[in-house]
Chains A and B, each alone.
Chain A
C-alpha cells in the first residue's frame, strides 16, 4: 500500500524568499513516481513537477525544484523567489502500482508581501 504524508498544514513565507514544503512517502513498489500539484483558491488542480524513483537528478521546473531523498523517502518541494501568486494549497502525490495517484493532505502556503 502507498502512503503520502504532508506534516505541515500551513506555511508562511516572505515574498521573494524560498520555501520548502515537506512530503514523505511509503511504498513497497520498486518503481514509483512522485508529483506535486498546486490548488489555488479558484479550485483547479495544477501540475507542477514530477520525480521518478529511478531518476538520478532532482527534478526542476522553473522556480520549482524537488528535493528527492530516496533513502529517507522524502520528496520535498522547494519554491524559490516566492510570489504572491504562489499562495495556494500544495499537494504531494504518488503514483501507485495500478498507475492511479494518491494524494497527501496538502499544505496551505501563504506568501506575505
Chain B
C-alpha cells in the first residue's frame, strides 16, 4: 500500500499566483480530508469528502480556496489568488468510513505539501 500521496511536497510561489495541491487517497478509502497546519492556528480542517461528495466545507477560509474530488482516487485543493498568509503545510488524509456511527474512523495522512507564498 503506497499510502496517501500528496504533490508537490514543497511549493514556493509569489503572491497572486494560482496554487494547486494534489492528493491520491488510499485505494478503497471513501473519505478524504484536507487540513492546514500553521504555528498560529494548529491543524485546521478545511474540507471533508465522503464518496467524492463534499460533506463539510465550513473550514475553507474564503472564496479563494476551492477543492474538488472528481473521482475516488484524486482530489485537488486550489488557491487562487494566493496570499502570504496562505503559507502553511497542507495535509490530505483518507479513511474508510463504514457508516455514520462508525467509531474508529482512523485517518491516514499524507506527508503534506509545504506552501510558501512570497
Number of A-B contacts (CB under 8 A): 62
Say yes or no: is A25 at the interface (Cβ < 8 Å to chain B). no
Q: Is the CB of A43 within 8 A of B45?
A: no
> A residues within 8 A CB of B31?
99
Chain A 88-113 residues near chain B, CB threshold 8 A: 91, 95, 98-106
Q: Is the CB of B109 within 8 A of A95?
A: no
> A residues within 8 A CB of B112?
43-44
Say yes or no: is B73 at the interface (Cβ < 8 Å to chain A). no
Say how far A96's CB is from chain B's closest CB, in angstroms: 8
Say yes or no: is A45 at the interface (Cβ < 8 Å to chain B). yes
Say how far A84's CB is from chain B's closest CB, in angstroms: 22
Q: Is the interface of B mostly helix, strand, loop or mixed?
A: strand
Q: How far apart are the CA atoms of A95 and B9 in the complex, in Å? A: 27
Chain A count of residues within 8 A CB distance of the other chain: 24
Q: Is the CB of B56 within 8 A of A98?
A: yes
Say yes or no: is A35 at the interface (Cβ < 8 Å to chain B). yes
Q: Is the CB of A33 within 8 A of B48?
A: no
A29-55 interface bits toward B, Cβ cutoff 8 Å, 1 = contact, 0 = none = 001010101000001111100101110
Say yes or no: is B89 at the interface (Cβ < 8 Å to chain A). yes
Say how far A107's CB is from chain B's closest CB, in angstroms: 12
Partner-B contacts on A (CB < 8 A): 31, 33, 35, 37, 43-47, 50, 52-54, 91, 95, 98-106
Name 14 A/B residue pairs within 8 A (Cβ), A-sorted: A31-B101, A44-B109, A47-B107, A47-B108, A98-B56, A99-B31, A99-B97, A99-B102, A100-B48, A101-B93, A101-B105, A102-B45, A105-B42, A106-B43
